[in-house]
Every structure is written in C-alpha cells, then in structure tokens.
Amino acid sequence: MARSTAGAREDSGVRTSTEDSDPPVEAPPPAIRSRPVSWAGLWFVLPFAVLFAVFLLWPTITGFAYTFTDRSLTGAPAGYIGWSNWTESLTDPAVWSSLWNTLVFTGLSTPPLVLAGLGLALLTARARRLGWFLRFSFFAPFVLPVAVVTMIWVWLYQPGFGLVNDTLTGLGLTEVGWLADERVAMISVVVTTLWWTVGFNYLLYLAALQGIPREIYEAADVDGASGGRKLWSITLPLLRRTTVLVLVLQLVASLKIFDQVYLMTRGGPNFATRPLIQYIYESGFTGFRIGYASAISYLLFAVIIVFSVVQFRLFSREEV
Amino acid sequence: MSVEANAPAVRARPRRLVISPAAALVYFAAFWAAVFWLAPLLWAAATSIKPEAETTLVPLAWLSENPTFAAYREVWAVGDIPRWIVNSTIVSVLVTALTLALCSLAAYGFSKTRFPGRSWFFAIIIAGILVPPQVLIVPLFTQMSTLGLVDTYWGIALPQVVAPVMVFILKRFFDAIPRDYEEAARIDGAGHLRILWSVILPLSRPILAAVGIFTFIGSWNNFLWPFVATTDPSIMTLPVGLGVVQSVYGIAYAQNMAAAVISAVPLLVVFMVFQRRIVTGIAGAGIKG
Amino acid sequence: MRHHETPQPPTVSRRALLAITLAVAGSGATACGSVDDVGERVALDQWNLFGGGDGARMIEMHQRYAAEHPGVDLRATTYAWGPPFYTKLAMGAAGGRGAAVATVHVSRLKGLAPGRLLDAIDARALSSAGLAASDMERTVWDKCFVDGELYAVPMDTHVLVNYYNREICAAAGVLDAEGHLRETHGVDEYVALLKEVKAVTGTFGTSLDTNAGWRPFWALYRQQDGELLFGDGDFQLDESKALAAFDVMRRLADEGLAPRDSNGAATSANFVNGLGGVVQVGNWEIPVYQKAGLDFGVAQFPDFFGNHRTQGDSHAYVLPHRRDRHQARLDESLAYIAWMLRNGITWAGGGHIPAYLPVAESAQYLTMLPQSEYRDAAANVQFDPDIWFSGSGARMQDDANAVFQGLYAGTQTPETALAGFTDILRTLLRIPDPT
C-alpha cells in the first residue's frame, strides 16, 4: 500500500510530501497551518458514513447479537439462547472439517500462485518483444467472471471426453476423476484458481521488475556477473517488498475461498472440498439457522483477523 | 516506460541483436507458457463452434470440420444471458458511480476539512477494512429481507459501495495535493464543493481511474453477495445466473461453451481497451478483493 | 512497435466506457420495457428442480401452456435438484419476493415452514380454478395438509419400482406366461430369483444404487409395519425390524447379487448394459431406459415382508410466501396449476403416477406402457417420516445414505448401521427446529 499512490503521484506532477507517512488519523504536522474547524466537512463524510453504518457496521453488530439467539430464516419466533450456538459450533465436526479444507486450500494455492506469478513475470521481463501477448495471456483469465472460469474447467476436467483426460489417455495414462475423486478434487480446484487469478500477482511482479533501474544490471554486467547471479543477487532481493505484498493479499484472499468450489464441486465429493464459507451459507440459508451461521461467521472472522495480525507482525518487522 | 528504456540499450550494444541461445530459450518458454495459459479459453471457443454431436467425439479434435454458430444462436435466443449482462452492467455502473462519488466526498472531508469527531469517524471507517464482507452475508441478508431489498438492484449494489479501503486510498492521494492549490481557489471565492470538483478531482484523475476500473471489474465479477442477495433469475448478475440457473437446454456442451464465451467477452473488451490503465492501476494500488 | 502502449488520455477511455455501458444498458432497458408493455400480461414466475427427462417434459408442457395463454408471461426457472433449489426457494420466500409458483417434494413440506415460507392455498379458490379434492389421489392429497391447512397441490406419486430386462429374465426363466416378472413372496424367494438372473448376466442380479440406501431401507422397514416416530426431542425406532431391513441390503451385496459400490449413473449404465437383469430404482428412470432402446418391464417393488409397500414421494406445486400477492397473480397461479394437472399425461410419460385422477384413470394413461403397469404402487407408497429434517434431498436422507452405503460395501454390519443411523437421528434432534 505504501507504494500505492507513488506512481500515480508522479503522473499528476504533485510533489511528494512527508505528510502521508504519518499516521493518517493524527493532526497535520506543525509545518502546515492548521485548518479551521467547522461542521462543513461532516457533510462530505456523511453519505458514505450512512451507508457504512447501515450496510457494514449494523450487520457486524446484529450478526454478533444473532450468535446468542436461535433466530431462523423462516422468521419463526426466536429468543436468547446464551452461548449454545458457540459451544455447538466449536464441537461441530463439519465446522472443523470445512475450516480444515479452507486452510488446506490456502496452503496448497498460495505457494504456486506466488511462484508462478514471479516466474511468468520474469519470463515476460526477458521476452520483451512478446510483451503485449504475454500480458494478455496471463492476465486475461483474471477478468473473467468466476462462473465462466468454472464452466470451462468443469468441461476440461470432464471424464471420458474432457480435454485433460483425453490428453492423459492419449499419452497412455489412466484417467483421473478430477472432480469426482476425494483425494484429487481440491488439487483440481487449486489448479483452476491458479489459472484464474495468477495474473494479478504476475502484474504486481511485472511492475516491480520494470521499476528496477537498468543501471544496476549494467553495473553488474561490467563486473561480469552471470544471468543467474544477477537474478539471485539483484532481482530477487529487490522484489522482496512485492513478495510481501503479494503474500499478504494472497493469504487473505485464499481464506475467503467459496465461489469456484461451490460452482465446481458444491463442496464435494463427500464434503472433501467444502470451505467454511459454504458451511456458513448452508447452515444459515439451507438449514435456516441464522443464529448458528452467524456464530460460524464470527469464527471465520476471528481466523482472518488472527492471520492478518500475525502477518502484520511478521512482515512489518521484515520491512524495517 | 519500456520504450525509452529499451531502445538506447539496444543501440549501445548491437551485439544484442543476435539472439543468444539463452534468449531464444526464454522466448521459447514464454511463448509456450502463454499458449498453454490461453489453451482453456481456446478450447472453450473451439468447442462452442462444433455441432453438438461432435463435442464428445473421442479422440478429441480442436477444429470441427463443420464449424457452426448454432450454439450461439440458441443460447442468445433463450435470452437469459443478454438479460444478465444488462443486470451486471446496471449493477456495476451503479456501484462504480456511487463508489467514486461517495468515497471522493468522504476522502475530501477527511483530508481537507476539520470537523469535530473527524479522527473518530476516520478510525471507525478504517477499522471497517478489517471486516471481510464474506462474514457478513448472513446478517446482511436478514437485514435486506427486512428492508425489502432482496432481489433488487439496490440490494445487490449498496453493500458493495461500502469500500472503506477506497476512502483510504483516495484520502492518501488527496493528502498529497498541496494546500496552495485549494488556497488559490479559495481566494477566488470557491467553496468546498467547488474546490473538490475543480481542483482536487482533476488532479486525481489517475487514481480515480484506477479506483473506478477496479470497482467496476470487482463488481462485475462479484459472486458471493449477488448470489445471496438474489433468488429471482430476472434480477441476477451474470456470474450468478450462469452459475445457479440450470440451462433449459439440458447438458449441451457446445451451448455451455458458447454461453461461457459470450459471457467472457464484455470484460475481455474492457480489459483490452483499458489494458494500460489496469496494468498501472494494479502496479500502483495493489487493490484487491 | 510498441505503439499500443502510448498512453491514451483517460477522459477518452472513460467516455468510451460510459458510452459502451450506456448503450448496453439502454438497449436492455428498452428490451425489458417492451416485454411488460405488451397488453396487460400477467407475469408468472415458476421455479422448479427438474433436469433431465423431467425437465424436458416440463418445458414441453410449458411451451403448450404459453401457446394457449398469450396473456400470461410464464417464466420458468430450473435450479439444481436438492439443496441448491430448496435454498433459493426458502431465501426468496424469506425475502418476500419468491416465485408465484414452485415445485417441491411433498416430503419436504414440513421443513419448509408452511405458514411462513409457504402461503396456504384456499381450497375454494382451487376448486373454482377447476381442481376438486375428490379429483386427487387420496394418499398424496392428505400429505399436502399441515395443521389442517392446504399448502400443496400434488402433481404425481413417484416410487421405487422393480425394473426387469425382458431378454435376460426370459433367458433366466423368471418371467411368467404373459411375460411379466414372476411374483415372489419373502426375502428368500426373491434372492433365489436374483440368483437365477445372475446366472445369466454373470455379474449382478440387481444393479442397485448403493449410494441411495435410504429408499430401499424405508420400503423394507415399512413392509414390516416399522414406525419411526418423533416427539419430545426423542425418537422411536423398531430396532429388530430395522436390523431385518439392513440385513436384506447387506445380504444382496454379500451374496454377490448387487454391486458393492455403484452411484446413480453407474446403476443406470449397469442395467442398460445388461450387467444386472433387474433393478429397484425410481420410476423416473423409465425415459432413460427407453432412450437406450432396452426391452424392459416394470413391476411393483418386490414383496420382501408380505406386501408391496415401497418408498415414495410426490412432486407438488406450492405458493412461496410473497409480501405482495396480487389477486390476479394468485388466480393465474392456480389456473396454471390446474392446467398442468389436466395435461398431466405428458408428465406421466416420465414415469410418475398422476395424482390427478381424471388423468390417472384416463384410457390414455391406462394404455401407456410400462408406466401403467405399476400404477397400483400409488396406494402402496410410504412417505418419509414427518419431521423437518426429513424428506428428499434433506439432511436425514443424505446422512443415512452415507451410512447405508457401508452395508453394500461390506464396511458396515446391520448392527453398526443401526448404531450409525440412531447417531444421526440423535444429532439431528439436538439441532433446534428452525422452522
């Protein structure tokens, strides 16, 4: 985020000030004359604040309140039931198995998404004459709606006459039940996700690579450094900040997995791919239990917050 | 930027014009990686122009001997997909316009004015970045149901407008615009609205474009909330309708792929038109999900 | 060579985007407008869960309906069978903007919170639409009431039946003089018949669907008058009768007469390919076997314990809750239901036994083969237990199927299956009833 507006700022010819490295909430640095206090500013903030209150703050509060009730989707009379949604959710094997699936997905998808993004960006940076074609190929899937992605991949994974299995049998190998086999289905989802979303990480890396001054490489050339040496000693260290950014964004995005799993396997076979968000959806909307689903939502919320805090601790130390 | 960087380098070392084996390998690998990455899309397109009976013929062929657009005609005639494209357009335009308007206003208020309680307001809104929208689907649905907003465009769009991170990004950008610009305008008698409209926003075009494009793509492709907020197929957005409504034509692979291709086109066009903006936008802002 | 990288003035691009989106939005808006503007057409949304052959039949009927009713704008939508459909149905009704008419399984009625998510149907309004109670198959009709209120109008009864491959069964010598499957009584006689069939096929006697064990279990249990009653957070299950039912399921697989593992698709394929000479699955498979060009007959579910009771369910129309139900729409919905029942002969082609007696007793149906061969099964149908987590595609069936497949696979004994099943019931009973 820190680099976020830097490039744009140069475009618009605005000078960089020290102001934005300060905590945004605090008063402006002493060098700047203080602004007159008036209520006028409130009117600018208010429209957003109202929507924020209605569609984010309020559901966050009511959602938490629901966890202590047996509120039902059907509108049946509901009441306070204490902690029983919480105790039930903590002892519900389906909560743990779907949380586990979410973590497995995160663990399986993050490394290839980061490494492939880096690898493809390095290729693109070298093969400059193919630039437009490469950027289009690797990034285009990212702009596709998820349902299009899953339709295409379910077709590719099709038993019998799917392209993947047909290629396998053509090579004399046996078919794989990509979406039907409990042991393989999650990997199939990861592969699809890799294809779909790697373009984003790829572009982040590509931009970072293009931001490395050529003079550094030229100086290394003078010293007679080999290509591999330059990659290892110059490029990768300079990409560190980008890697941190990519990792942070990727981990949190992976924890929110739902769309492609629901559309490809509906969480199956035999719940082997069902992520926690799907179980929230099923508990609340299929099973009508708004209170219980809210409790599970808050468990997921807690997991995401813990991940974010740990990451922040780890990486903020790293960045200094 | 690469144009300037590349050209002099080539001139300085003409030796580079001869392609070294290593460079050839890089080009070879890059080219095939890209082809491999495009293969699923090409396969979908290839399937979509086959006659239905040929789609499951093993061994598979990439090109049909009797290519036909019949699948496209049939999918289009059903009428669902055009309607969902219209719905997605309405929702995405609504979300993008409101996000740009409300987040700019809020960012201006936080960046360029002082009012009592400002830092409290800002702190609460920034804390909102920590709340993943995914964990709110259940209470948000019951709330929409109470407000009568289930199965309406507003019900799909409004929660997506609440993007505190956009306020944050815009505020940081506005913070960096020197006060001299506003002061000059103020001396000319401009009020806050006028300063925002004629001074701040024009200076912020690049960031507004980035926020706008990302909000648009994000909203167009958003699945979970529109999926929860709609049950009536005539109001569904494209990803939801495609994913949830069973095709009336049963299992017909060519038509399925024709539907996928039609549905892929709008944003692929947007991507091609705005490729540079999107690339610099991602590079700059790292906006995601 | 990299001219495409030349930065474009952002204003132009944005204007272009706006132009595109406005163009699309504009054309869409006019298109939508024209639909609603044609006369005063009543919009009628219908949601269903029918894919495959049933789906095709429904579309065929809807096309005829639309042709006969130019004043009605019928918009039918199909959601995936089971939870995806029921979830959307409930959410739409909870939001108060559900469909005008929807199809459900009657076994799910209690779990759909009638009175909250489903609106009651006025019997008088229904009869003025042309449907009288006396025209309905009694067993199913009675299932459509909850607390004395009518919430559903039944389309059909669908049951587990006994398919037999004529060629194989003739070779095995198990057909009677008229070419029907020989009538058997009791488990042993039926096992003996399956052995004769297996001698011909060499693979299975019956090519059961081992992933859907609930249905045969319920049929076998009910043939012994077994009851599964719920009340006060507890249940009553007759353990010895349940064990007897489980033992039949185990025995078929253990003696090699049924597959150890076979899903729905494989079950169809096994029967079509002649790996099994008979099979007990739902009547909805008829179009599949007909399409495959198979010479087959259909009998009632076999008599294992002294009668032909069979597990079954019924598709029915319901009115999902709406906060604004206009009278015109309601009338049109009931008229639509009446029309669909009167023209139910098309639906019956899919193997379902019509619930509307004028169709069920029509010459056209009585001469429809093999559909009318098992029409007496409508009187033998055994509905699933009456509790909110029960019914087609609901949790009890799904969870029970997961346990019962072990009986076929050889990983469960009748005793462990019973323990597993009672565990499921206890778990489900602990969940507070959300309806």
Residue A203: Cβ within 10 Å count: 25
User: CB distance from B137 to chain C under 8 Å?
Assistant: no
* Nearest alpha carbon to residue B137 among A246, C64, C218, A280: A280
* Residue at B226: amino acid letter: P
How far apart (Å, rounded) are the C-alpha atoms in residues C215 and C285?
15
**Residue appearing with tokens 């297996």:** C198
| Cβ proximity of C180 and C297 under 8 Å | yes
Per-residue pLDDT tens digits for B217-265 = 999 999 999 999 999 999 999 999 999 887 655 567 888 899 999 999 9
- Subunits with at least 3 CB pairs below 8 A relative to chain B? A, C
Q: Which helix (H) or strand (E) holds A96?
A: helix A93-126
CB contact under 8 A, C32 and B248: no
pLDDT at C225: 96
Question: Phi, psi at residue A74, to the nearest 5°?
Answer: -75, -10
- 3-state SS of chain C is CCHHHCCCCHHHHHHHHHHHHHHHHHHHHHHHHHHHHCCCCEEEEEEECCCHHHHHHHHHHHHHHHHHCCCEEEEEEEECCCHHHHHHHHHHHHCCECCCEEEEEHHHHHHHCECCCEECCCHHHHHHCCCCHHHECHHHHHHCEECCEECCEECEEEEEEEEEEHHHHHHHCCECCCCCECCCCHHHHHHHHHHHHHHHHCCCCECCCCCCCHHHHHHHHHHCCCCEEEECCEEEECHHHHHHHHHHHHHHHHCCCCCCCCCHHHHHHHHHCCCCCEEEEEHHHHHHHHHCCCCEEEEECCCCCCCCCEEEECEEEEEECECCCCHHHHHHHHHHHHHHHHCCHHHHCCCCEECEHHHHCCHHHHCCCCHHHHCCHHHHEECCCCCCCCCCCCHHHHHHHHHHHHHHHCCCCHHHHHHHHHHHHHHHHHCCCCC
Enclosing domain of residue A74: 62-319
Report DSSP letters for A269-296, one per residue. Answer: STTTT--HHHHHHIIIIIS-BHHHHHHH
- Does A182 map to a domain? yes
Residue C351 confidence (pLDDT): 92
Identify the CATH number of the domain in which residue A184 sits: 1.10.3720.10
Q: How much is the pLDDT for A318?
A: 57
Which residues lie below 8 Å from residue A37, measured CB to CB, with a gap of 6+? B114, B115, B116
Q: What are A163-197's pLDDT values in tens digits? A: 998 889 888 888 888 988 888 999 999 999 999 99
In a domain, A1, yes or no: no
The verdict on residue A264 lying in a domain is yes
Average pLDDT over residues B93-116: 95
Q: φ, ψ for residue C228 (rounded to 5)?
A: -125, 105
Please indicate whether, in this complex, the C-beta atoms of B126 and A25 are within 8 angstroms of each other. Answer: yes
Q: What is the pTM of this model?
A: 0.86
**Polymer length in residues for chain B:** 289
Which residue in chain A has the smallest CA separation from B275?
Answer: A136
Yes or no, beta carbons of A145 and B275 under 8 Å apart: no
Averaged pLDDT in 10-residue chunks for chain C of 435 residues:
35 38 37 42 91 86 95 91 92 88 95 92 91 92 94 95 95 92 95 96 92 95 96 92 97 94 84 92 90 92 96 96 84 95 94 95 93 89 93 91 92 95 93 86
Can you tell me the distance from the alpha carbon of A136 to that of B34, in angstroms, rounded to the nearest whole number? 9
User: Helix, strand or coil for residue B272?
Assistant: helix
Q: In degrees rounded to 5, what are phi and psi of residue A126?
A: -85, -45
Residue pair C284/C53 in contact by the 8 Å Cβ criterion: yes
Task: Give the closest residue to A227 by CA, choosing from A219, A214, A217.
Answer: A217
- Whether A108 maps to a domain, the answer reads yes
- Residue A16 domain flag: no
Task: State the complex-level ipTM.
Answer: 0.86
Q: How far is B263 from chain A (nearest CA, A)?
A: 7
Look at chain A and report how many structural domains it folds into: 1
Residue-wise pLDDT tens digits, C2-23 = 344 333 333 333 344 344 333 3
Min Cα–Cα distance to chain A from B265, Å = 9
Query: Could you give the maximum distance between any two Cα atoms of chain B, in Å?
Result: 77
Q: Token digits for C152?
A: 């559903």
Kindly report the average pLDDT of chain A as a whole number. Answer: 85
Residue C2: list chain A partners with CB under 8 A.
Answer: 131-132
Task: For residues C141 and C334, give the distance between their C-alpha atoms in angstroms, rounded to a whole number.
Answer: 16
Query: Is B31 near chain A, with CB under 8 Å?
Result: yes
Say how far apart CA B162 and CA B146 lie, in whole Å.
19
Would you tell me which residues 194-253 of chain B have a C-beta closer than 8 angstroms to some C-beta of chain A?
196, 203-207, 210, 217, 220-221, 223-224, 228, 238-243, 253
Domain-embedded: residue A14: no
Q: Which residues are CB-neighbours of B109 under 8 A, at least 6 positions away?
A: A41, A42, A43, A44, A45, B115, B118
Structure tokens at C347: 């639906």
Q: Which of B219, B246, B247, B272 to mutate to test the interface with C (most CBs of C within 10 A)?
A: B246
* Structural domain includes residue A39: no
A117 interaction partners in chain B (CB closer than 8 Å)? none
Cβ distance of C435 and A76 shorter than 8 Å: yes
Element (H, E) at B270: helix B253-273
| Shortest Cα–Cα distance, B218 to chain A (Å) | 9
Provide the token pair at C415.
């005793």
CB neighbourhood size of C257 (10 A): 22
Distances (CA, A) of C419 to A93, C228, C233, C410, C424: 18, 15, 18, 16, 9
Residue A229 confidence (pLDDT) above 90: no
Which whole number is the average pLDDT over B78-93? 93
Chains that touch C (3 or more CB pairs under 8 A): A, B
- The answer to whether the CB of C279 falls within 8 A of the CB of C207 is yes
Strand C101-105 relative to strand C42-48, pairing:
parallel
Residues with Cβ within 8 Å of B84's Cβ and at least 6 positions away in sequence, in order, are B236, B237, B238, B240, B241, B242, B263
Could you tell me the CA-to-CA distances from A184 to A273, B185, B221 in Å, in that order?
10, 64, 27
pLDDT reported for residue A222 = 86
Question: Look-up: residue for tokens 């059961």?
Answer: C208
| Residues near A103 by beta carbon (within 8 Å), at least 6 away in sequence | none
The Cα A293–Cα A296 span in angstroms is 5
CB-based contact C432 A70, cutoff 8 Å: yes
Beta carbons of B248 and C28 less than 8 Å apart: no
A303 in any annotated domain: yes
- Tens digits of residue pLDDT in C164-212: 999 999 999 999 988 999 999 999 999 999 999 999 999 999 999 998 9
SS3 assignment, position A72? strand
Q: Which residues face C312 on adjacent strands?
A: C159
Give B-chain residues touching C10 at CB under 8 angstroms. Answer: 205-206, 209, 277
SS3 A69: strand
Q: Do C432 and A73 touch (CB under 8 A)?
A: no
| Highest mean pLDDT out of A81-85, B76-80, C56-60 | A81-85
- Please state the φ and ψ torsions of residue C163, each to the nearest 5 degrees: -85, 145
Q: How far apart are CA A306 and CA C394, in angstroms?
A: 35
Q: How confident is the model at residue B284 (pLDDT cuts 50, 70, 90)?
A: low
Q: Which residue has the tokens 């709110």?
A: B136
Query: How many Å lie between the alpha carbon of B1 and the closest alpha carbon of chain C?
Result: 9
Bridge partners of residue C310, in order along the sequence:
C381
DSSP character string of A159-179: TTTSHHHHHHHHTTPPP--TT
Q: Which of C5, C431, C434 sits opposite A74 (nearest CB)?
A: C434
